[in-house]
């Protein structure tokens, strides 16, 4: 029996459409099991705090758990390599921040290229870093700290969550613009750095605001300034560093990526879910408590942000001659 040309064409088109229909159906049923969200820094730090807050809202919204996995080391590179090596099926995603833009230049031989080997999913939050001191430090503001540091060159230690993190570069920018000689002490995450700041083992900490805001509000540490260009509503009495050091500014952004090859339908589903929970007034209020604001973006917009930040921090690292330890 011969098939008509039109009938043959219909069958061919139908067969070709089967994979597309299958992918769409798969995407519509996503997620069918828990999603693993890799955070490349230690529990209790700002990245971890933000991921757990947003992860809970995503769990409620999508009906499946978003399980936070902390994989620490090498300024976030250990966790990132693990995430980008995972099966690209949407069930492993990774927390993205300025360190990923920074590490692209800071480390000469990475086992991965973040932009090449990842797929941008969504922006989540924009916030500031904060400069804070142990209560024994005789400085109540940035100007007093600069005077104290210049009177004690090389004797003051400033901590960060690791070489190449945004708090580290916020501190390096502060050093470059003020001429102070303070010694960088990197930690494996900001949580242990904050512990040593409270104990007086280090005198200064540059930290993402969510990790320290509780201690600032209870008076356990003294915040001298935020790194953003404007004061933040969460701690309105804390000035910007730029009010004492004209031109100083460093902002922080967070988002989500997935391994290269993750189906675009899954990426779009995740993006829509993230943007939906970011529109929830309850989550917006929680992010405001942490000193941040929601940053909804399309995958393409988030990808452009990462690319622009990679270029910007690459120039800073080269000019400052910063090397990983």
Q: How many Cβ atoms from other residues are within 10 Å of residue 3's Cβ?
A: 10
Q: How far is CA 306 from CA 78, 119, 229, 300, in A?
A: 19, 11, 20, 10
The 3-state DSSP class for residue 211 equals helix
pLDDT for 190? 85
pLDDT along the chain (325 residues), means of 10: 53 52 62 97 89 98 98 91 98 96 92 97 95 98 98 97 86 92 90 95 94 94 96 94 95 95 98 98 93 95 96 84 82
pLDDT for 83? 98
Query: CA 210 to CA 57: how far, in whole Å?
Result: 17
Q: By the 8 A CB rule, do 205 and 158 touch?
A: yes
Main-chain phi, psi angles of 199, to 5 degrees: -85, -5
Query: CA 121 to CA 272: how far, in whole Å?
Result: 9
pLDDT for 21? 45
Query: CA 135 to CA 220: how far, in whole Å?
Result: 7
pLDDT for 101? 94
Determine whether 233 is exposed, middle or buried from the number of CB atoms within 10 Å of its CB (0-12, 13-18, 19+): exposed
pLDDT for 14? 56
Instruction: List Cβ neighbours of 55 (8 Å cut-off, separation of 6 or more).
Output: 37, 66, 67, 68
Query: CA 96 to CA 141: how far, in whole Å?
Result: 32
List domains and CATH numbers for the chain.
Answer: 33-126+252-320 (3.40.190.150), 128-243 (3.40.190.10)
pLDDT for 189? 82
Q: By the 8 A CB rule, do 198 and 220 touch?
A: yes
pLDDT for 291? 84
């Amino acid at each position: 029996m011969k098939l008509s040309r039109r009938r043959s064409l219909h069958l061919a088109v139908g067969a070709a459409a089967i994979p597309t229909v299958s992918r769409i159906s798969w995407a519509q049923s996503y997620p069918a099991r828990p999603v693993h969200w890799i955070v490349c820094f230690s529990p209790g730090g700002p990245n971890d705090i933000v991921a757990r807050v947003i992860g809970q809202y995503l769990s409620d919204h999508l009906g499946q758990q978003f399980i936070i996995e902390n994989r620490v080391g090498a300024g976030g590179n250990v966790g990132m390599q693990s995430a980008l090596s995972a099966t690209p099926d949407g069930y492993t995603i990774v927390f993205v921040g300025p360190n990923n833009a920074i590490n692209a230049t800071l480390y000469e031989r990475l086992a991965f290229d973040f932009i090449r080997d990842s797929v941008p999913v969504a922006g989540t939050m924009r916030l500031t870093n904060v400069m804070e001191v142990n209560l024994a430090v005789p400085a109540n503001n940035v100007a007093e700290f600069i005077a104290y540091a210049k009177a004690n060159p090389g004797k003051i230690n400033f901590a960060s969550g690791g070489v190449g993190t945004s708090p580290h570069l916020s501190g390096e920018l502060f050093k470059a613009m003020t001429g102070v000689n303070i010694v960088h002490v990197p930690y494996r995450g900001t949580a242990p750095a904050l512990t040593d700041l409270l104990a007086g083992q280090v005198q200064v900490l540059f930290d993402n605001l969510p990790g320290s805001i509780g201690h600032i509000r209870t008076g356990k540490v003294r915040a001298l300034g935020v790194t953003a260009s404007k004061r933040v509503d969460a701690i309105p009495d804390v000035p910007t560093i730029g009010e004492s050091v004209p031109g100083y500014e460093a902002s922080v952004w967070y988002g989500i990526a997935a391994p290269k090859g993750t189906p675009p339908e899954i990426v779009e589903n995740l993006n829509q879910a993230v943007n939906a929970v970011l529109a929830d007034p309850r989550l917006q209020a929680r992010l405001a408590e942490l000193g941040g604001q929601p940053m909804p973006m399309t995958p393409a917009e988030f990808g452009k942000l990462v690319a622009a930040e990679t270029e910007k921090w690459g120039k800073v690292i080269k000019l400052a001659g910063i090397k990983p330890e």
